[in-house]
Structure 1
Amino acid sequence: MPRYAILLAPSANRVYADQASRMSRAELGAFGRVLSSPVEEVGTAEIGGVEYLTFEGELMGRDMAFLSNLSSAYALFERVDEELLRPCALSPLGRYDSDLITIPKYAGKTNEQFTKLVLNLTLLGSASAERMLDGGLTVLDPLCGRGTTLNQALMYGYDGIGVEIDGKDVEAYKLFLQTWLKRKRLKHTAELVPMRRQGRRAARRLEVTMAASKDDHRSGAVQKLTVLHADTTQLDGLIRGNCADVLVADLPYGVAHGSYEDEGGLSRRPLDLLERAVPQWLPLLRPGGAIGLSWNVKVAKRELAEDILIAAGLELVEYGDLLHRVDQGIERDVVVARKIG
């Protein structure tokens, strides 16, 4: 059986880079769900003094295209023998230049590789897994901040819907995206408009339409992005149901992040937010859609997060060990659950 070796990409976050190999093993196992045959003998090997992620498998058809999107993949080789590697061409989804992802820098930004990993795991756990390479999907981030997950969705050729309670973050994201689109000379429209519910102003909505090329724009092959400046626990009437194929969110970490309570104070309890928000989120997911969440286990145990999702009627998707250290106060984990029916 052919043997392969993946050279993992360096990460700007040293702590994350130290754990990328272990997490990539779990992600590679998830990709096995859409490959022609399962990957086997997943492990690591030192070749020429450099660590590689290794596996065996019969890669056919679109298999190489799927694996090209592994979040930490830098280069893929077929192992001719123990020391000789033959390069394999990668073709990652990349509708736009990579600086759409890498330019934004701000306090609290989630590592880009981790964002891609969570989106991948959620897609692969959903009924849309086989369509990952084909575009036309919609990603919902109900705690979108300044749009890291939404930008990754755009890179994949998907539409995006975001919700963010902090108006400054919505304004900052609008400014960045408009500036980036103008600098790249891409056809687009971007407008921030008020929304009303029962005759009252309930939210503001950022609406962006964009195309990767002039030919795409002329043919109508455009992507749509919507970001609501609203409370994610009060979305009734603001977003139509069954609009998203996957939902990906980074819950408040309980350190420098928070969510607002009914009384107007700042809560640093992510499970309180999750319990209140899941009933609002589920109607937005299409049947077979999946939810992917990351959070700080130092302030919220995994079992309790799973209990909330199961109680809402979701089915857990089992992956390998994804628990990892971010810094002294944050130890992060990932859970994925699928909407049944």
Structure 2
Amino acid sequence: MPEYAILILPSANRVYTETSSRLLRAELAVFGATVLSAPVTDADLRTIGGAEYVTFTTQTPLAETDVAYLSNLSSAYVLFEVAGELLRPLPLHRLDKFDSDLLTIQKYSGKTNELFTKLLLNLTVLSTTRPAGLLERPLHVLDPLCGRGTTLNQAMMYGYDATGLDVDSRDFEAYQQFIKTWLRSKRIKHTAEATSLRRNKVRLGRRLDIEYGSTKEQYKAGHTRRISYLNCDTLHTDELLRNNSVDVIVTDAPYGVQHGSRTPDAALARSPRDLLAAAVPVWSRVLRTGGALGISWNTYVVKRDELAEIVTNAGLSVCEGGPYDQLAHRVDQAILRDVLVARKDS
């Protein structure tokens, strides 16, 4: 059977580098089960020439479309076809529309690793009823707890539309300053408008709306994408977005005190459980039928079965078994992060 090897992209985060090979194998299995022309088999970690590779086999050689999908694996650096003792590199065609510093230039305490954000987005898109949409069409991504916008930036990299919500005004201001500066420095044609956010004449907060083109030619032709950041309580999501209007919801839930969630009465909640119990039904209303929700969270503060119950009660079907059960990994001594993906079937 044809055999392939993926050279793993080094991460600036040492802890994430240590776990990236295992997460990559789980991600690879989901690719194989959803969009590749043949399932992935015998995925393993192997040291070749002193470097770590994820190796795998398929029943038939990878088609050009298969390579196009695998080009977007979160931690893939180079993809090789194994030919005896030789490695033949396969050209990668990533979706990336912009330079990688869109994702890497921001540095701050509590930032979600950008490779993990890409993995979470990939898994969620692949778990929809239209996984081929990863390559075939621009999607609308929602991050209802978006912080300083790592998910929004990854959506931009893929050429998707994105909407983010967060109640923290400092995060809103930091993202606004960063993205405006970045767009100007890269000379990307765009418009950016910051306004008050109102609903039924009640001021909820602020909003930032950006329309941009991947190239000057696309911008002039009107082929633009949109990013919106709504600085308000996430429980207003279904008031501000139309029902069945987003393709995927991707978010990194608060981990505890340092990244504590704010309840409607402005109290700091250690566990995000109450927030998620209130918010997931709200989020699910704006999710299209066939769309998917991907949540990462700290299992030390919310058990997996608790989160699964919240999601199920909101009318979503949890994706379980195989690679979906192999995504838990340590972030630090106080955080054991896991991923739950669920689909809206009706």
Q: Which residues in structure 2 correspond to 1:252-263 (within 5 Å)?
A: 252-263=254-265
Query: Who is 2:330 aligned against?
Result: 325
Pairing 1:284–2:281 present: no
Shift of 1:202: 2.2
Q: Are residues 1:72 and 2:69 paired?
A: no
RMSD of equivalent CA atoms = 1.1
1:26 corresponds to which residue? 26
The Cα shift of 1:195 comes to 2.5
* Partner SS, residue 24 of structure 1: helix
Partner AA of 1:162 in structure 2: G
Structure 2 counterpart of 1:9 = 9
Identity of aligned residues (%): 54
**In 2, Cα distance between equivalents of 1:40 and 1:290:** 25
Deviations 1:75-118 (CA, angstroms, capped at 9, x unpaired) = 0111001x311111111111111110111111110001111111
**Could you list the per-position Cα deviations for residues 147-179 of structure 1 after superposition, in whole angstroms to 9, with x for gaps in the alignment?**
001100000010000001011111111111010
Alignment of 1:90-129 (within 5 A): 90-129=92-131
CA distance in 2 between partners of 1:78 and 1:154 (Å): 30
What amino acid does structure 2 have at the position aligned with 1:34? V
Shift of 1:236: 4.0
Distance 2:251 2:309 in 1: 17
Q: CA deviation at 1:204?
A: 1.6
Q: Which runs of 5+ in 2 are unaligned?
A: none
Assess if the C-alpha contact under 8 Å between 1:190 and 1:209 holds in 2: yes
1:187 alignment counterpart: 189
Which stretch of structure 1 is more off in the superposition, 251-260 or 194-203?
A: 194-203
Q: Is the 8 A contact 1:178 1:190 kept in 2?
A: yes
Q: Residue 46 of structure 1 aligns with which residue?
A: 47
Q: How does 1:114-263 map to 2 (within 5 A)?
A: 114-263=116-265
Q: 1:303 aligns to what SS in structure 2?
A: helix
CA contact (8 A) 1:293 1:335 kept: yes
Give the equivalent residue in structure 2 for 1:60: 63
Q: Which moved more, 1:251-260 or 1:70-79?
A: 251-260
Q: Secondary structure at the match of 1:293?
A: strand
Deviation at 1:134, TM superposition (A): 2.6
1:128 is displaced (CA, Å) by 3.0
For 1:16 and 1:277, locate their aligned partners in 2 and report how far apart those are by CA, in whole Å: 29
Please report how far the alpha carbon of residue 231 of structure 1 lies from its aligned counterpart in structure 2 after TM superposition: 0.3
Q: For residue 277 of structure 2, what is the amino acid of its counterpart?
A: E
Do the aligned partners of 1:135 and 1:157 also contact (CA within 8 Å) in 2?
Answer: no
Point out the structure with the larger helix share.
2
Q: Does the 8 A contact of 1:157 with 1:223 survive in 2?
A: yes
Give the Cα separation in 1 of the matches to 2:280 and 2:319: 17
* TM-score for the superposition, normalised by structure 2: 0.96
Give structure 1 regions of 4+ aligned residues with deviation exceeding 2 angstroms.
234-237
Match of 2:341 in 1: 336
Provide the secondary structure at the position in 1 that maps to 2:234: coil
Q: Contact between 2:172 and 2:229, CA under 8 Å: does it hold in 1?
A: yes
Letter in 2 for 1:27: E
* Residue-by-residue CA offset, 1:226-283 (whole Å, 9 max, x unaligned): 1101100233422222221000010000141011123221112111111000121011
Contact 2:253–2:296, Cα closer than 8 Å, also in 1: yes
Q: Which amino acid aligns with 2:128?
A: S
Q: Gaps (5+ residues) in structure 1?
A: none
* Stretch deviating more after TM superposition (325-334 or 252-261): 252-261
The amino acid that maps onto 2:54 is L
Confirm or deny: 8 A CA contact 1:128 1:245 kept in the other structure: no
Aligned equivalents of 2:152, 2:38: Cα separation in 1: 31
AA at the equivalent of 1:140: L
Aligned to 1:296: 298
Contact 1:255 1:329 in 2 (8 A): no
8 Å CA contact 2:144–2:237 kept in 1: the answer is no
Moved more, 312-321 or 330-339: 312-321
Cα deviation for residue 203 of structure 1 reads 2.8
Letter in 2 for 1:286: R
